[in-house]
Amino acid sequence: MIRKRVGILISGRGSNMSALIEAAKAPDYPAEIVGVLSNRAAAPGLAVASSEGIATAFLAQSKFPTREMFEDVMTQILESWDVEIVCLAGFMRVLGEDFVNHWAGRMINIHPSLLPLYRGLHTHERALADGATVSGCTVHFVTPGLDEGAPILQAKVPVLPGDTPETLAARILIEEHRIYPEALRRLALGDLSTLH
Ligand code: GRF
């Protein structure tokens, strides 16, 4: 089986990255994680990826005169790893149009809400403030509009009485770790028939 070469962009903990790395250990998984790039040197996920024998890179946007130059170098690094698919996994930077267009149809993100609800930050706080009874997560294609690309998979979880942003986030994170590897599997196979 030919496995698609995947690069992951992170900024922090990297638990979704770890879920993808674990899934890709299955011999019949159609993708392999070939590199992890962080825009934060202290991202704990970098050490995890290294310990798995995966190539890593750190790139500080502040070292570049413009966002476009920073993102061009990100693309160069990803292409030096022969990456075919990019997964954003807690990458806390809004990406510019050139970068997004370069990877169009080949770049996906996980977002902790039922998009189109609660694009952007503080999703759990906003869901709780609205009195939502259901929330969840979405894997979607990345397009220039923030969290606006077509969804690939969603999972719902109940919002329970007494939930805080932290308890709700933890319940949703379990589902993130389930649907992100499944969405990547479908993209790698070109099997997105369940797109809605
Ligand atoms: C996750 O909640 C993800 O949905 C959001 O950022 C968080 C990243 O967590 N985009 P982790 O770094 O994958 O643990």
Q: At a CB cut-off of 8 Å and minimum separation 6, what does 143 contact? A: 100, 104, 149, 150
Q: Is residue 195 part of a domain?
A: no
Q: How many domains does the chain have?
A: 1
Q: Element (H or E) spanning 15, and its range?
A: helix 15-23
| Residue-wise pLDDT tens digits, 173-189 | 999 999 999 999 999 99
**176 C-beta closer than 6 A to ligand 1:** yes
Find, among 143, 123, 140, 120, the residue nearest to 132 by Cα.
123
Q: Is residue 196 part of a domain?
A: no
Structural domain including 76 reads 4-189
What per-residue confidence (pLDDT) applies to 193? 63
Spatial distance between the Cα atoms of 95 and 82, rounded to a whole number of angstroms: 20
| Residue-wise pLDDT tens digits, 82-104 | 999 999 999 999 999 999 999 99
Q: Is residue 112 part of a domain?
A: yes
CATH number for position 96: 3.40.50.170
**15 C-beta closer than 6 A to ligand 1:** yes
Residue 196 pLDDT greater than 60, yes or no: no
| Helix and strand counts by DSSP (H, E) for the chain | 6, 7
Helix (H, G, I), strand (E, B) or coil at 55: strand
Question: Which of 16, 87, 171 has most ligand 1 atoms within 8 Å of CB, for mutation?
Answer: 16
pLDDT range class, residue 194, cuts 50, 70, 90: low
- In whole numbers, what is the pLDDT of the chain averaged over residues? 96
